[in-house]
Amino acid sequence: MIKALIARIKQGYRTMEFPSPEIKLPPRFLGLPEIKAAGLEKAAAACPYAAISAQAGTLDLGRCVFCGACAKASPAVKFTKEYKLCAGSREDLVLGRDGARRARPVPEDLRRILGRSFKLRQVSAGGCGACEADCNVLGTLAFDLGRFGVQFVASPRHADAVLITGPVTKNMALALRKTYDAVPAPKLVIACGACAISGGPYSGHEECPGIPADIPVDLYIPGCPPHPLTILDGILRLIGRVE
Amino acid sequence: MKTDNHSSFIFSATDIEPEIFLDTAGSRLAAGGRAIAYFAVPEGAAYRLVLAVAFDRESRVEVYSAPLGGPFRSLTPSFPQLHLFEREIYEQTGYTPEGHPWLKPVRFTGANDKPGVADFFSVHGSEIHEVAVGPVHAGVIEPGHFRFQCHGEKVFHLEIMLGYQHRGVEKRFIGGPGPRDLRYAETLAGDTSIGHGWAYCGAIEALCGVNVPARAQALRGIMLELERLANHTGDLGALSGDVAYLPTASFCGRLRGDFLNMSALVCGSRFGRNMLRPGGVNFDLDYALVKELKLRLETVYRDVENAVSLLWNTASVIDRFDGTGTVSKQAAEGLGLVGPAARASGVGLDTRRNFPYGPYENFTLAVSGSGDVYSRAYVRWLEIQKSADLVAAWLDSLPEGPVSAECGDLKPDCGAISLIEGWRGQICHFALTGADGKLRYYKAADPSFHNWQGLAMALRNGEISDFPLCNKSFNLSYCGHDL
Ligand code: SF4
């Protein structure tokens, strides 16, 4: 017992402040990209995921897996270290359009219900397990998701929202449907990671039909995988805990 | 035909008479060989059966192939390590391995397949009950279906059905190398991005005959060991959490992240994404970064040592770890288990020692155990110490020079085997080129492919309440199995 207490003192207090202007991401981190029209064709040609349209002058954060190939090919794309990437609608993820990338908190009445106690049922539906890992990290003492009243729960019956990761494989379609149906209304849906949004690295695979159209998504969190801070920021924005 | 890790061979040299193929396979396995790949590659209107056997003690790989046009004799009854390979061949070709004791789908890829719907072993009798779990589990974790046959608390048998994560990656390599390939490899199992990424690069490099510069090799080594450090540390924390010992669980959760952040310092991604490229690496370290990494390694390692040593000094932890979920050496060898799970059962296989590659010259690490949860945990701790030493040594003496070399065209009609010791164990990528120098076939085996059956064995005659603990002690990949 005494050893555990000594260890506790040695390990120190490690929970980060959030949100905080102090948060610093590593110099080589690829966050929110900035695009310029000049030279965008080259960047578009370099992207294996058709995330960039030179014609429209856009970059779709929902398709982007942050591989950096475009920035290597052309100075038209530059990555900043901005980790706040989420958006409330699919269109808002497309950079280069007017008014793009607005995170929309849920309406006031829902916020009153969910703002202080928000329970998530995570469904892993394909993918590589990295999004799951970065969701799990939020439960560690470094992020301490619980302090915001947000928690991953085991039963869909206890959940306010379904957080989906992965490109939704054919083999997970039924399990996702059953889980979604089991969550009582009002319920929200979060698509976490490039896979869940667009198929990500697996876009175009017939094995991965994606989130069905009749499951409406309320929050999109881009990344491959999204940084834990990106996920945290998205969830808190959705329930109106960060502006 | 003999070959080495990370070198190419003329594929036609592997051809042997179809009549003797299975007998040869049997005799090589009986001689102590371990199957690292066994698959059917399309050829004309039919297939060609390919088997790669590793002889770990002699650092040698042998490859045999022969045409396959119909049902074939199952070798699983004599060599259980082939059970899943043969099921996979059956699923992909429709040809029956005759005499296979439990032939059923692996990934439910057929048009009429319903995931998880297949025959299951069942036990009958009074007071016998069946527990079915998944695909959606209680935690934030990948999907899989587990079915337990129990008598009270006691588990007679656990059957594991996977395939829910199948996203069709392997066949997308065909026709390449393509611009999506590296990310495909990195996401075969997302927590093993460096392991699988390196295995992919190794296969391509062997096929183009390029020499990877020494500095790039050392940088790859640093990233692979950081990946191992992060995952082993995280798993020790999770094991601690599963026996309700919260101090180590909390500390290790944070420390795992500190290792991931070290990877992010090198390449921007916590999972090591974008670090690798065929021919070398994309990111170099300058003096300041080396210094920063050394400093972090020292402090993080000190905290890990502090957190983990609590485990071995806490009676309630030892009591739960000791003797739980034992896999005998005989079972581990028979099933072809790999990685820390195999080493914990006394199987002396480590790709870094048995098939040295890249920066792992003269690698030694003696680990062993009695095959229980305690052994699987303690082996992780021994490996953490070794990995920290390796990273520190490489940071101290990074070879000078470039960090990548240009890869030319792939040699036509060749094969290459790339073995890497990922944190879960041996990763095997097998690449074949066609006459046009494009990838004709690609086969990837995550350590989980071999080890899931080990978890099932660990539960035999154990208590069902020990399942989470046993499961975590293996911590296998669903996506790495499902591909
Ligand atoms: S970073 Fe994103 S937009 Fe750029 S090439 Fe990669 S996937 Fe495409």
| Six-digit token string for A118 | 């928000």
A100 pLDDT exceeds 70? no
Predicted local distance difference test score (pLDDT) of residue B365: 83
| Angle, helix B287-312 to helix B246-267, in steps of 10 degrees | 160
Atom number in ligand 1 closest to CA A68: 1
Predicted local distance difference test score (pLDDT) of residue B368: 81
Amino acid present at B88: E
> Mean pLDDT over residues A192-211, rounded?
95
A105 pLDDT exceeds 90? no
Closest chain A C-alpha to B257 CA, distance in angstroms: 8
**pLDDT grade, residue A113 (50/70/90)?**
confident
Predicted local distance difference test score (pLDDT) of residue A1: 78
Question: Whose CA is closest to A230, among A61, A2, A74?
Answer: A61
**pLDDT grade, residue A189 (50/70/90)?**
very high
**What topology does CATH give the domain A33-82?**
Alpha-Beta Plaits (3.30.70)
Q: Which domains does chain B have, with CATH numbers?
A: 169-447 (1.10.645.10)
Predicted local distance difference test score (pLDDT) of residue B177: 94
Q: Which of B107, B180, B264 sits opposite A26 (nearest CB)?
A: B264
DSSP per-residue letters across B416-432: EEEEEEETTEEEEEEEE
Q: Beta strand pairing status for B8-10 and A161-165? A: unpaired
Higher pLDDT, residue A37 or B214? B214
Question: Whose CA is closest to B254, among A12, A152, A220, A33?
Answer: A12
- Number of residues assigned to chain B: 483
Predicted local distance difference test score (pLDDT) of residue A98: 64
- Number of residues assigned to chain A: 243
CATH architecture of A108-238: 3-Layer(aba) Sandwich (3.40)
Determine whether the interchain pair A11/B168 forms a contact, defined as Cβ–Cβ distance below 8 Å: no
Distances (CA, A) of B209 to B13, B358, B400: 18, 14, 22
A54, A39 Cβ separation under 8 angstroms: no
Best mutation site among A64, A94, A195 for ligand 1, i.e. most ligand atoms within 8 A of its Cβ?
A64
Helices (H) and strands (E) in chain B, counts: 15, 15
- Which positions of chain B have pLDDT values less than 50? none
**pLDDT grade, residue A103 (50/70/90)?**
low
Residue B230 bridge partners (DSSP): none
SS3 content of chain B, % helix, strand, coil (to 5): 45, 20, 35
Amino acid present at B338: V
pLDDT digits 0-9 by tens, A43-56: 999 999 999 999 99
Residues 6+ apart with CB under 8 A from B330: none
> Mean pLDDT over residues A98-103, rounded?
62
Predicted local distance difference test score (pLDDT) of residue B126: 87
Residues with Cβ within 6 A of ligand 1?
A: A 46-47, 49, 51-52, 59, 64-70
Residue A99 DSSP class: T
Predicted local distance difference test score (pLDDT) of residue B148: 93
The SS3 call for residue A35 is strand
Is there a common fold for A33-82 and A108-238? no
Determine whether the interchain pair B183/A202 forms a contact, defined as Cβ–Cβ distance below 8 Å: no
Predicted local distance difference test score (pLDDT) of residue A37: 86
In the sheet that B60-68 helps form, which strands lie side by side, from edge to edge? Answer: B2-3, B60-68, B46-55, B34-43
The alpha carbon of residue A124 and the mean position of all alpha carbons in its chain are separated, in whole angstroms, by 13
Sketch the domain layout of chain A as residue ranges: 33-82, 108-238
What does the mean pLDDT of chain A come to?
Answer: 91
pTM: 0.95
